[in-house]
Amino acid sequence: MQVPRFLITSEPLAVERLAASLEQASRHVDEGCGAVCTFVGVVRATHKGQRVQHLEYEAFEPLAMKVFQRIDAEVGAEWPSASLGIHHRIGRLSIGEASVAIAATSAHRAESFRVCRYAIERVKQVLPIWKHEFFEGGDAWVEGALADVDDEAARIRAHEVACA
Amino acid sequence: MRVTVQVFARLRELAGKSEWQCEVAPGATIGDVWKTSAGAYPALADFSRSVSCARNEDFARMSAPVQDGDVIAFLPPVSGG
Protein backbone atom coordinates (compact mmCIF):
# COMPACT_ATOMS: atom_id res chain seq x y z
CA MET A 1 0.00 0.00 0.00
CA GLN A 2 2.10 2.88 -1.30
CA VAL A 3 0.93 6.35 -0.30
CA PRO A 4 2.78 9.48 -1.49
CA ARG A 5 4.84 10.92 1.35
CA PHE A 6 3.88 14.47 0.42
CA LEU A 7 0.43 15.40 -0.76
CA ILE A 8 -1.95 18.34 -1.15
CA THR A 9 -5.48 17.02 -1.57
CA SER A 10 -9.12 18.02 -1.39
CA GLU A 11 -9.98 14.50 -0.17
CA PRO A 12 -10.25 13.58 3.54
CA LEU A 13 -6.87 12.73 5.12
CA ALA A 14 -5.96 9.28 6.44
CA VAL A 15 -3.00 9.48 8.82
CA GLU A 16 -3.08 5.73 9.52
CA ARG A 17 -2.45 4.93 5.86
CA LEU A 18 0.39 7.45 5.67
CA ALA A 19 1.94 6.05 8.87
CA ALA A 20 1.60 2.45 7.71
CA SER A 21 3.15 3.24 4.36
CA LEU A 22 6.12 5.01 5.96
CA GLU A 23 6.65 2.19 8.43
CA GLN A 24 6.61 -0.37 5.64
CA ALA A 25 9.11 1.62 3.58
CA SER A 26 11.54 2.07 6.49
CA ARG A 27 11.11 -1.42 8.03
CA HIS A 28 14.22 -2.90 6.43
CA VAL A 29 16.38 0.21 6.07
CA ASP A 30 19.41 0.46 8.39
CA GLU A 31 18.28 -0.33 11.95
CA GLY A 32 14.67 -0.61 10.84
CA CYS A 33 11.64 1.22 12.18
CA GLY A 34 10.85 1.15 15.89
CA ALA A 35 8.74 4.28 16.27
CA VAL A 36 5.98 6.02 14.35
CA CYS A 37 4.90 9.43 15.60
CA THR A 38 1.86 11.11 14.05
CA PHE A 39 0.29 14.55 14.33
CA VAL A 40 -3.14 15.50 13.04
CA GLY A 41 -4.27 19.13 12.96
CA VAL A 42 -8.06 19.45 13.03
CA VAL A 43 -10.50 22.32 12.50
CA ARG A 44 -11.28 23.93 15.86
CA ALA A 45 -14.78 25.28 16.65
CA THR A 46 -13.48 28.64 17.90
CA HIS A 47 -10.83 31.17 16.91
CA LYS A 48 -9.97 34.10 19.20
CA GLY A 49 -13.36 33.85 20.89
CA GLN A 50 -15.35 33.63 17.69
CA ARG A 51 -17.41 30.61 16.73
CA VAL A 52 -16.08 29.06 13.52
CA GLN A 53 -18.61 27.57 11.10
CA HIS A 54 -16.22 26.15 8.56
CA LEU A 55 -12.82 26.78 6.94
CA GLU A 56 -11.47 26.92 3.44
CA TYR A 57 -7.83 26.23 2.66
CA GLU A 58 -6.10 27.44 -0.48
CA ALA A 59 -2.64 26.35 -1.66
CA PHE A 60 -0.05 27.50 -4.17
CA GLU A 61 0.41 23.85 -5.00
CA PRO A 62 3.55 23.68 -7.17
CA LEU A 63 5.46 25.80 -4.65
CA ALA A 64 3.99 23.86 -1.71
CA MET A 65 5.32 20.61 -3.20
CA LYS A 66 8.78 22.17 -3.44
CA VAL A 67 8.51 23.38 0.17
CA PHE A 68 7.68 19.81 1.23
CA GLN A 69 10.89 18.67 -0.48
CA ARG A 70 12.80 21.41 1.32
CA ILE A 71 11.42 20.38 4.74
CA ASP A 72 12.21 16.75 3.89
CA ALA A 73 15.81 17.70 3.03
CA GLU A 74 16.17 19.65 6.29
CA VAL A 75 14.91 16.62 8.23
CA GLY A 76 17.26 14.35 6.27
CA ALA A 77 20.24 16.53 7.14
CA GLU A 78 19.40 16.66 10.85
CA TRP A 79 17.90 13.19 11.44
CA PRO A 80 19.28 11.04 8.60
CA SER A 81 17.65 7.78 9.69
CA ALA A 82 14.15 9.23 10.09
CA SER A 83 11.45 9.31 7.45
CA LEU A 84 8.74 11.94 7.09
CA GLY A 85 5.38 12.33 5.36
CA ILE A 86 3.02 15.33 5.28
CA HIS A 87 -0.47 15.47 3.79
CA HIS A 88 -2.36 18.79 3.73
CA ARG A 89 -6.02 19.18 2.90
CA ILE A 90 -7.39 22.05 0.80
CA GLY A 91 -10.91 23.21 0.02
CA ARG A 92 -13.83 23.40 2.42
CA LEU A 93 -13.46 21.72 5.83
CA SER A 94 -15.97 21.30 8.65
CA ILE A 95 -15.27 21.46 12.39
CA GLY A 96 -13.33 18.38 13.51
CA GLU A 97 -11.99 17.45 10.08
CA ALA A 98 -8.24 16.93 9.65
CA SER A 99 -6.45 19.75 7.85
CA VAL A 100 -2.94 18.33 8.13
CA ALA A 101 -1.59 14.84 8.81
CA ILE A 102 2.08 14.24 9.59
CA ALA A 103 3.87 10.96 10.21
CA ALA A 104 7.51 10.46 11.18
CA THR A 105 9.28 7.14 11.56
CA SER A 106 12.63 6.35 13.11
CA ALA A 107 14.48 3.48 14.73
CA HIS A 108 13.88 4.89 18.24
CA ARG A 109 11.10 7.06 19.70
CA ALA A 110 12.94 10.30 20.47
CA GLU A 111 13.75 11.07 16.85
CA SER A 112 10.22 10.40 15.61
CA PHE A 113 8.76 12.89 18.10
CA ARG A 114 11.33 15.51 17.11
CA VAL A 115 10.82 15.09 13.38
CA CYS A 116 7.03 15.24 13.73
CA ARG A 117 7.19 18.44 15.80
CA TYR A 118 9.81 20.01 13.54
CA ALA A 119 7.66 19.28 10.48
CA ILE A 120 4.51 20.97 11.84
CA GLU A 121 6.52 24.01 12.98
CA ARG A 122 8.01 24.35 9.48
CA VAL A 123 4.58 23.87 7.88
CA LYS A 124 3.33 26.80 9.96
CA GLN A 125 6.35 28.91 8.99
CA VAL A 126 6.78 28.36 5.29
CA LEU A 127 4.18 26.19 3.53
CA PRO A 128 2.29 28.37 0.99
CA ILE A 129 -1.22 27.50 2.21
CA TRP A 130 -3.83 29.92 3.52
CA LYS A 131 -6.73 29.44 5.91
CA HIS A 132 -9.98 31.33 5.36
CA GLU A 133 -12.27 31.22 8.40
CA PHE A 134 -16.01 31.63 8.18
CA PHE A 135 -17.81 32.78 11.35
CA GLU A 136 -21.37 33.57 12.20
CA GLY A 137 -21.75 36.88 10.38
CA GLY A 138 -18.34 37.23 8.80
CA ASP A 139 -15.12 35.76 7.49
CA ALA A 140 -11.38 36.39 7.76
CA TRP A 141 -8.15 35.18 6.23
CA VAL A 142 -5.74 33.98 8.89
CA GLU A 143 -2.32 35.56 8.43
CA GLY A 144 0.54 33.76 10.13
CA ALA A 145 4.19 33.79 9.18
CA LEU A 146 5.92 35.65 6.36
CA ALA A 147 7.02 32.63 4.34
CA ASP A 148 10.79 32.64 3.88
CA VAL A 149 12.50 29.25 3.53
CA ASP A 150 15.91 30.91 3.80
CA ASP A 151 15.14 32.57 7.15
CA GLU A 152 17.70 30.64 9.19
CA ALA A 153 16.50 32.12 12.51
CA ALA A 154 13.01 30.71 11.91
CA ARG A 155 14.43 27.30 11.00
CA ILE A 156 16.52 27.27 14.18
CA ARG A 157 13.42 28.21 16.24
CA ALA A 158 11.56 25.24 14.75
CA HIS A 159 14.51 23.02 15.61
CA GLU A 160 14.64 24.31 19.19
CA VAL A 161 10.91 23.70 19.68
CA ALA A 162 11.32 20.19 18.24
CA CYS A 163 14.17 19.36 20.60
CA ALA A 164 12.84 21.06 23.75
CA MET B 1 9.00 43.43 -21.03
CA ARG B 2 5.98 41.60 -19.76
CA VAL B 3 5.55 39.24 -16.80
CA THR B 4 2.55 37.36 -15.44
CA VAL B 5 1.58 38.16 -11.85
CA GLN B 6 -0.23 35.65 -9.62
CA VAL B 7 -1.72 36.42 -6.21
CA PHE B 8 -3.29 34.21 -3.57
CA ALA B 9 -5.75 34.27 -0.68
CA ARG B 10 -6.34 37.76 0.74
CA LEU B 11 -4.26 39.40 -2.01
CA ARG B 12 -6.45 37.74 -4.63
CA GLU B 13 -9.57 39.06 -2.91
CA LEU B 14 -8.14 42.56 -2.60
CA ALA B 15 -7.12 42.65 -6.26
CA GLY B 16 -10.38 41.05 -7.38
CA LYS B 17 -8.48 38.65 -9.65
CA SER B 18 -5.86 35.95 -9.34
CA GLU B 19 -3.63 36.75 -12.33
CA TRP B 20 -2.72 39.58 -14.64
CA GLN B 21 -0.01 40.82 -17.02
CA CYS B 22 2.42 43.48 -15.89
CA GLU B 23 4.69 45.65 -18.08
CA VAL B 24 8.05 46.55 -16.54
CA ALA B 25 11.23 48.11 -17.86
CA PRO B 26 14.27 46.00 -18.77
CA GLY B 27 16.36 45.39 -15.64
CA ALA B 28 13.31 45.49 -13.38
CA THR B 29 13.24 43.49 -10.14
CA ILE B 30 10.41 41.58 -8.48
CA GLY B 31 10.11 44.60 -6.18
CA ASP B 32 9.39 46.75 -9.24
CA VAL B 33 6.69 44.28 -10.33
CA TRP B 34 5.15 44.61 -6.85
CA LYS B 35 5.22 48.41 -7.00
CA THR B 36 3.59 48.41 -10.42
CA SER B 37 0.96 45.92 -9.23
CA ALA B 38 0.22 47.89 -6.05
CA GLY B 39 -0.15 50.96 -8.27
CA ALA B 40 -2.74 49.19 -10.41
CA TYR B 41 -4.47 47.59 -7.40
CA PRO B 42 -3.95 50.04 -4.51
CA ALA B 43 -5.56 47.74 -1.93
CA LEU B 44 -2.45 45.54 -2.22
CA ALA B 45 -0.17 48.28 -0.88
CA ASP B 46 -1.04 47.46 2.76
CA PHE B 47 0.91 44.23 2.27
CA SER B 48 4.12 45.86 1.07
CA ARG B 49 5.92 44.91 4.30
CA SER B 50 4.38 41.46 4.70
CA VAL B 51 4.45 39.93 1.24
CA SER B 52 6.75 37.17 0.06
CA CYS B 53 7.32 36.26 -3.54
CA ALA B 54 8.13 33.48 -5.94
CA ARG B 55 9.58 33.55 -9.45
CA ASN B 56 8.54 30.71 -11.77
CA GLU B 57 7.28 28.65 -8.82
CA ASP B 58 10.38 29.02 -6.62
CA PHE B 59 10.77 31.34 -3.66
CA ALA B 60 12.71 34.47 -4.61
CA ARG B 61 13.82 37.81 -3.18
CA MET B 62 12.19 41.14 -3.98
CA SER B 63 15.62 42.29 -5.21
CA ALA B 64 15.85 39.50 -7.81
CA PRO B 65 15.73 40.62 -11.47
CA VAL B 66 12.87 39.44 -13.66
CA GLN B 67 12.95 38.33 -17.28
CA ASP B 68 10.39 38.63 -20.03
CA GLY B 69 7.78 35.89 -19.65
CA ASP B 70 8.44 35.19 -15.95
CA VAL B 71 5.57 34.24 -13.67
CA ILE B 72 5.85 36.24 -10.45
CA ALA B 73 3.72 35.17 -7.48
CA PHE B 74 3.02 37.35 -4.43
CA LEU B 75 2.09 35.57 -1.22
CA PRO B 76 0.48 37.02 1.92
CA PRO B 77 1.61 35.56 5.29
CA VAL B 78 0.90 31.83 5.30
CA SER B 79 -1.48 29.98 7.63
CA GLY B 80 -1.30 26.27 6.83
CA GLY B 81 -1.49 23.52 9.41
Among candidates B13, B52, B80 on the partner chain, residue whose Cβ is nearest the Cβ of A146: B52
> Does A58 map to a domain?
yes
Q: For the segment B23-76, what is each residue's pLDDT rounded down to a tens digit?
A: 999 999 999 999 999 999 999 999 999 999 999 999 999 999 999 999 999 999
B43 in reach of chain A (CB within 8 A)? no
- Please list every residue in chain A whose beta carbon sits closer than 8 Å to the beta carbon of residue B46: none
Q: Which residue range forms the structural domain that includes residue A37?
A: 6-163
- Overall CATH class of domain B2-75: alpha beta
Burial B18-53 (b: 16+ CB within 10 A, else e): eeeebebeeebbbebbbbbbbeebeebeebeeebbb
- Please list every residue in chain B whose beta carbon sits closer than 8 Å to the beta carbon of residue A128: 8, 54, 75, 78, 80
Q: For the segment A123-144, what is each residue's pLDDT rounded down to a tens digit?
A: 999 999 999 999 988 999 999 9
> Does A1 map to a domain?
no
CA of A100 vs chain B CAs: smallest distance (Å): 6
Q: For the segment A45-59, what is each residue's pLDDT rounded down to a tens digit?
A: 998 889 999 999 999
> Does A37 map to a domain?
yes
Identify the CATH number of the domain in which residue A39 sits: 3.90.1170.40
In chain A, the number of structural domains is: 1
pTM: 0.96
Q: Locate all alpha helices (DSSP H) within chain B, ordered by sequence.
A: 9-15, 30-40
ipTM entry: 0.95
Query: Domain map of chain B by residue range?
Result: 2-75
